[in-house]
Amino acid sequence: MLKNYFKIAIAVLKRRKFFTFISLFGISFTLTILIVLTAFVDNLTGANYPEVNRDRSLYITFIQQKDTKNNGQMNGPASYYYLSHYVSTLKTPEKVGIGSMFSPTNAYVNDKKLVIDLKYTNDSFWDVIGYEFVEGKPYNRQQINNGERVAVITEETKRNYFGNIATVVGKYIETDNVQYRVIGVVKNAPVTMLVSYANMFVPYTVSRKDYTAKGHMGEYMAVILAKSKADLPKIKAEYASVVSKIKPDVKGWNVFKSQADPYVASLIRNSPVGRGSGEDGGVGKLIFIGCIFVLFFMLLPTLNLININISRIMERSSEIGVRKAFGASGLTLVGQFIVENIILTFLGCLIGIVLSFIALQLINNSNLIANIHLTINLTVLFFSLLACLIFGLLSGVYPAWRMSRLQVVTALKAQ
């Protein structure tokens, strides 16, 4: 039966090529946009290089201090002192990696300016963030304590600053008039990974800012690595207990807040969507907003496809009348037309996947987003096929139901 439905669907598609083109274009274009967006979200939120340990990590990217009496408020990253004093001393985690927000610095190569994004880190940063070294190794605690001006750079920085040479370990790189000895080279990471991304990494002890200052606010973030996923609730509870005893560092202020969140929650909590949210950091609210966006995004092409399908069905009124006259039930006809429409949407889905692959390659090769690599993985493919099925059902049910309501005499007269 499905084979017959497929043959009928192909014949119908060939009959009105212009309508077929409009239908397939609407389906494939919509799915292409959804697949590209899904690939981007998957890359942004998944446990991808170099943050391969996200499934057993918690992030502290944001602290908040308030004066509820006078409406005073400060939000932002923490100081190195705060993270080393209150977070690194937690007993449950395996490691606590600390890194600053990356900041642009200027280097000059052959009289041309090269902007290098610099990040200050502790030694545990390299155990928590899974950077892959292609040369050398990371700096250790002794080098940090000694205040050595050593650096780990990315492959991109190596190429841009030193050119195409075999190895750069032991050579010196100068940025903002400060020289550092290169001791390691790592593979590039996309700029979308705000916690781990930089072009160059150096010990926090060589920062020009006083990392020993005892204020809570600063420019550092922490990634807490658990021994296993089962330890994440314990770490959250332990940190919450510590935070409950911390007072604001501004005299007269009375509220201090900070949470250790999974990666996605840590991003959303810092945004207008998540600010003030509860335990999930606003993830549920964002998912709801995303579903509403996808629904409305799919609504217009679905309505267009419904109108086209109604026109197609009305053209086949004589076929419907004959089949009804020979005993075909309304349910049988509805099933046939829904299957035909799903076949149409799956053809559009295949075209959409091909277009998505081309679009993703263009994005990856354009360097529009530094070092990002988007792919159509199983997650992306699943959601695209799910969207295709929903698309086919939404645009096929009403026309099929309307067709099944046609009376035999009316259907035959319409022809």
**Cα separation of 368 and 272, whole Å?**
26
Q: Which tokens go with 93?
A: 């985690």
**Cα separation of 411 and 327, whole Å?**
14
Is residue 306 predicted with pLDDT exceeding 80?
Answer: no
Pairing status of strand 133-136 against strand 103-109:
unpaired
Nearest C-alpha neighbor of 375 from the set 131, 46, 134, 50: 46
Which residue has tokens 């075909």? 328
Write the pLDDT tens digit of every residue in 190-220. 988 889 999 999 999 999 999 999 999 999 9
- What lies within 8 Å, CB to CB, of 154 at 6+ separation is 185, 186, 187, 188, 189, 198, 199, 200
Write the pLDDT tens digit of every residue in 23-34. 777 778 877 888
Q: What is the mean pLDDT of residues 4-21?
A: 66
- Please tell me the least confidently modeled range out of 110-114, 144-148, 366-370: 366-370
Reported as a pLDDT band with limits 50, 70 and 90, residue 116 is very high
Is residue 336 predicted with pLDDT exceeding 90?
Answer: no
Annotate 25-66 with DSSP letters as a single string.
HHHHHHHHHHHHHHHHHHHHHSS-TT-TTGGGEEEE--EEEE
Average pLDDT, the chain: 83
Pairing status of strand 178-186 against strand 150-154:
parallel
pLDDT at 409: 46
Nearest C-alpha neighbor of 38 from the set 294, 389, 261: 294
Give percent of the chain with pLDDT exceeding 70.
73
Cα atoms in the Cβ-side hemisphere of radius 13 Å centred on 81: 11
Cα atoms in the Cβ-side hemisphere of radius 13 Å centred on 94: 17
Rounded to two decimals, the pTM is 0.78
Query: What are the beta bridge partners of residue 100?
Result: 220
| 104 or 366, higher pLDDT | 104
Inter-residue long-range contacts of 3-6, CB under 8 Å, 24+ positions, other chains counted: 5/336, 5/339, 5/340, 5/343, 6/343
pLDDT at 386: 76
User: Cβ distance 340 to 5 under 8 Å?
Assistant: yes
Alpha-carbon distances of 350 from 4, 24, 299, 343, 389, rounded to whole Å: 21, 10, 20, 11, 12
Q: What is the mean pLDDT of residues 286-307?
A: 67
If you average pLDDT over each of 190-199, 231-240, 248-257, 340-349, which comes out highest?
A: 231-240
Phi/psi of residue 292, each to 5°? Answer: -65, -40
Is residue 269 predicted with pLDDT exceeding 80?
Answer: no
- Please tell me the least confidently modeled range out of 127-131, 152-156, 281-285, 387-391: 281-285
User: Cβ distance 344 to 392 under 8 Å?
Assistant: yes
Greatest CA separation found in the chain?
Answer: 94
Q: Which tokens go with 323?
A: 């089949």
pLDDT at 323: 60
pLDDT at 408: 47
Reported as a pLDDT band with limits 50, 70 and 90, residue 363 is confident
| 318 or 206, higher pLDDT | 206
Write the pLDDT tens digit of every residue in 141-192. 999 999 999 999 999 999 999 999 999 999 999 999 999 999 999 999 998 8
Q: Parse the chain into domains and list their residue ranges.
A: 2-46+284-414, 63-258
Q: Give the amino acid at 79.
A: S
Pairing status of strand 200-203 against strand 112-121:
parallel
Q: What is the mean pLDDT of residues 309-317?
A: 62
The gap from C-alpha 335 to its chain's centroid, in whole angstroms, comes to 38
Nearest C-alpha neighbor of 298 from the set 30, 40, 38: 30
**Cα separation of 187 and 152, whole Å?**
11
| 186 or 251, higher pLDDT | 186
pLDDT at 34: 80
pLDDT at 11: 67
**Cα separation of 137 and 255, whole Å?**
42
DSSP label of 230: G
Q: Give the amino acid at 221.
A: M
Q: Which tokens go with 71?
A: 């409406």
